[in-house]
Chain A
């Protein structure tokens, strides 16, 4: 039952062939069986999930027409608030906090009858690319337990890849949905900035953050995308426009006559041989399906990583000021006449991990008078140039493509002491965030040298998210037929270490 797609599960639920309670129990059993190895979850809400499943079963029994994913289990990244359920954003500073309100994403999931089974592990405050920066220990890649699942939404990606949930929610500030999707052999989409409400999404970098869906298929991802999207008056940056027809596009994959632009700057040198090989093959597949492949030039992308690692830390140094030990979360150093400032400083040292401190200090530096124009100001101008590069490229192509990440999954501990090496893993995903557009990663096969999954990235203009699904569905169908089934079927049984 747990190996079916979310669409198949929903169909069986609507036809009363299975119950949501049984489906949820099957996933809770799977979590109990494998999560001691994968460590995808920070908190499993068995009682809450079963209550939600019971409610959906009753509605189905009474003949109500429900949403396309009603009764289907989902794993939720711990960066989104869920009322009464522990929410930490992977940080010790929020250990034990139970939010008094639902994020808009969670409210929409509940309204759609989606069953939230638990909160997934992540790099602390979504700062990282391997889930090793979590305050609660790393998550392990189901394909090879000695490797990272990517990050920062590594817990959500690993949960879907390990059949602990068919779908999951992540958030993507610099690639944190697409990169872990690539490294665990599943599909992940970062929707257009503003398409999914950020209300209740614990902020890292407000002008870049966006929640989005994971699934094992393009269609499952589209079904979830549609449910969480839409205008929200509680988020001033929420787009007031109809949700793109992503489900229709996912059901009608087609690339005949579609112009696909290969970004010159996001391939070749620095990309692992097996990654480049699978990417090139996917391009040939798309061409054989009738797509027209063109090369596009985006010269400013060379500076995207530098701009990102100024803008995101700058915004985070401001956003994380709210963790002040006064209203919620950790408080240490209190008593004996200690000043508020001293309590705040001691609490922030005790509650934040190394990478979070590193980024707050970098952001504080980049925003300080005397350096502001040279660092933050310049980065904002680079951002304009990247937007202009995309605008020009999208006059030459309907979608743009690249490998999602330059390498396959790396070993736990390999890059944790070398921040710059870790940051380089985001080189192909960051431009999307800086421009506020949308992007998808889907499986392109296994690299020859290590038999680990490779991701193929598709990018489309703002609010043209349906193009990702139209092209993604066509590529997925062609590759699955070539492989004789989905890529995930090739994953080794859990417990294996390479």
Chain B
């Protein structure tokens, strides 16, 4: 039986940039063992010599012709922004106070 502790879930949530509540962390931790057991069935099969498939189509280096085409105006691109300034996306502080 697999399991994932509350602290392990918290670490994954931090990596995924989701600030979960204590209740959410505990709920996920309690469900994870069952889900991991189910998906771990992929390890029951002898996969030696089997190639991995990342994609159903054998495509390589798809590119369109390098010609100028219309694209979104700055106004349209910014139309959904939570905050903007001088035709740019305005974001919260990226560097810490001391930096």
Asked whether A362 and B35 contact (CB < 8 A) given A345-B19, A352-B18, the answer is yes
| CB atoms of A435 and B56 under 8 A apart | yes
Answer whether residue A341 sits at the interface, using C-beta atoms and an 8 A cutoff.
yes
Could you mark each residue 77-99 of chain B with 1 if its beta carbon is under 8 Å from any beta carbon of chain A, else 0?
Answer: 10111110000010111101100
Asked whether A237 and B57 contact (CB < 8 A) given A100-B79, A348-B19, the answer is yes
Residues on the B chain within 8 Å of A177, using CB: none
| CB atoms of B39 and A310 under 8 A apart | yes
| CB atoms of B56 and A420 under 8 A apart | no
| CB atoms of B42 and A379 under 8 A apart | yes
| CB atoms of B57 and A436 under 8 A apart | yes
Residues on the B chain within 8 Å of A237, using CB: 55, 57, 59, 62
Please provide the chain B residues from 1 to 45 with a CB less than 8 Å away from any CB of chain A in the complex. Answer: 4, 9, 12-21, 24, 27-28, 31-32, 34-36, 38-45
Answer whether residue B72 sits at the interface, using C-beta atoms and an 8 A cutoff.
yes
Nearest B residue to A362, CB-CB:
B35
In the assembled complex, the Cα of A377 lies from the Cα of B34 at a distance in Å of 20
Please provide the chain A residues from 201 to 236 with a CB less than 8 Å away from any CB of chain B in the complex. Answer: 207, 233, 236
Answer whether residue A281 sits at the interface, using C-beta atoms and an 8 A cutoff.
no
In the assembled complex, the Cα of A276 lies from the Cα of B10 at a distance in Å of 44
> Which stretch in A118-126, A330-338, A488-496 binds the other chain?
A330-338
| CB atoms of B45 and A341 under 8 A apart | no
Residues on the A chain within 8 Å of B21, using CB: 349
Residues on the B chain within 8 Å of A327, using CB: 80-81, 89
Residues on the B chain within 8 Å of A193, using CB: 56-57
Q: How many Å from the CB of A4 to the closest CB on chain B?
A: 37
| CB atoms of A340 and B91 under 8 A apart | yes
Asked whether A380 and B53 contact (CB < 8 A) given A346-B19, A357-B24, the answer is yes
Answer whether residue A483 sits at the interface, using C-beta atoms and an 8 A cutoff.
no
In the assembled complex, the Cα of A482 lies from the Cα of B78 at a distance in Å of 57
**How many CB-defined contacts (below 8 Å) exist between A and B?**
178
| CB atoms of B54 and A207 under 8 A apart | yes
Could you mark each residue 469-494 of chain A with 1 if its beta carbon is under 8 Å from any beta carbon of chain B, else 0?
Answer: 00000000000000000000000000
Nearest A residue to B75, CB-CB:
A100
| CB atoms of B42 and A306 under 8 A apart | yes
| CB atoms of B12 and A306 under 8 A apart | no
Answer whether residue A103 sits at the interface, using C-beta atoms and an 8 A cutoff.
no
Please provide the chain B residues from 47 to 67 with a CB less than 8 Å away from any CB of chain A in the complex. Answer: 47, 50-57, 59, 62, 64
| CB atoms of A339 and B31 under 8 A apart | no
Interface size, B (range): 35 or more
Please provide the chain A residues from 325 to 374 with a CB less than 8 Å away from any CB of chain B in the complex. Answer: 325-331, 334, 337-346, 348-349, 352, 354, 357-358, 360-362, 364-366, 368, 374
Q: Is the interface of B mostly helix, strand, loop or mixed?
A: loop
| CB atoms of B20 and A387 under 8 A apart | no
| CB atoms of A345 and B28 under 8 A apart | no
Q: Is the interface of A mostly helix, strand, loop or mixed?
A: helix
| CB atoms of A378 and B57 under 8 A apart | no
Q: Which of B13, B52, B80 touches A98 (beta carbons < 8 Å)?
A: B80
Q: Which of B14, B72, B93 touches A339 (beta carbons < 8 Å)?
A: B93
Residues on the B chain within 8 Å of A382, using CB: 42, 45, 47
| CB atoms of A310 and B18 under 8 A apart | no
Q: How many Å from the CB of A253 to the closest CB on chain B?
A: 28
In the assembled complex, the Cα of A497 lies from the Cα of B48 at a distance in Å of 53
Residues on the B chain within 8 Å of A337, using CB: 93, 97
Residues on the A chain within 8 Å of B68, using CB: none
| CB atoms of A326 and B16 under 8 A apart | no
| CB atoms of B77 and A100 under 8 A apart | yes
| CB atoms of B12 and A380 under 8 A apart | no
User: Which of B13, B77, B89: most chain A CB closer than 10 A?
Assistant: B13
| CB atoms of B53 and A384 under 8 A apart | yes
| CB atoms of A334 and B18 under 8 A apart | no
| CB atoms of B94 and A340 under 8 A apart | yes
Answer whether residue A3 sits at the interface, using C-beta atoms and an 8 A cutoff.
no
| CB atoms of B17 and A341 under 8 A apart | yes
Nearest B residue to A239, CB-CB:
B57
In the assembled complex, the Cα of A345 lies from the Cα of B20 at a distance in Å of 8
Answer whether residue A97 sits at the interface, using C-beta atoms and an 8 A cutoff.
yes
| CB atoms of B54 and A338 under 8 A apart | no
| CB atoms of B94 and A365 under 8 A apart | no
| CB atoms of A348 and B50 under 8 A apart | no
Asked whether A357 and B20 contact (CB < 8 A) given A97-B80, A309-B38, A326-B89, the answer is yes
In the assembled complex, the Cα of A484 lies from the Cα of B11 at a distance in Å of 60
Further 11 A-B residue pairs, CB within 8 A, beyond A101-B72, A462-B56 = A309-B39, A327-B80, A334-B82, A348-B16, A348-B19, A354-B24, A357-B20, A360-B16, A374-B40, A385-B50, A419-B31
Chain B interfacial positions (CB closer than 8 Å to A): 4, 9, 12-21, 24, 27-28, 31-32, 34-36, 38-45, 47, 50-57, 59, 62, 64, 72, 76-77, 79-83, 89, 91-94, 96-97
Would you list the 4 A-B pairs with minimal beta carbon distance, nearest first? A436-B56, A328-B80, A331-B82, A380-B52
Selected A-B contacts with CB under 8 Å, 23 pairs: A101-B72, A207-B55, A306-B38, A317-B16, A324-B17, A326-B81, A331-B82, A334-B92, A340-B94, A345-B19, A346-B19, A348-B19, A349-B18, A349-B21, A358-B31, A361-B32, A365-B4, A365-B36, A366-B39, A368-B15, A381-B42, A385-B45, A387-B56
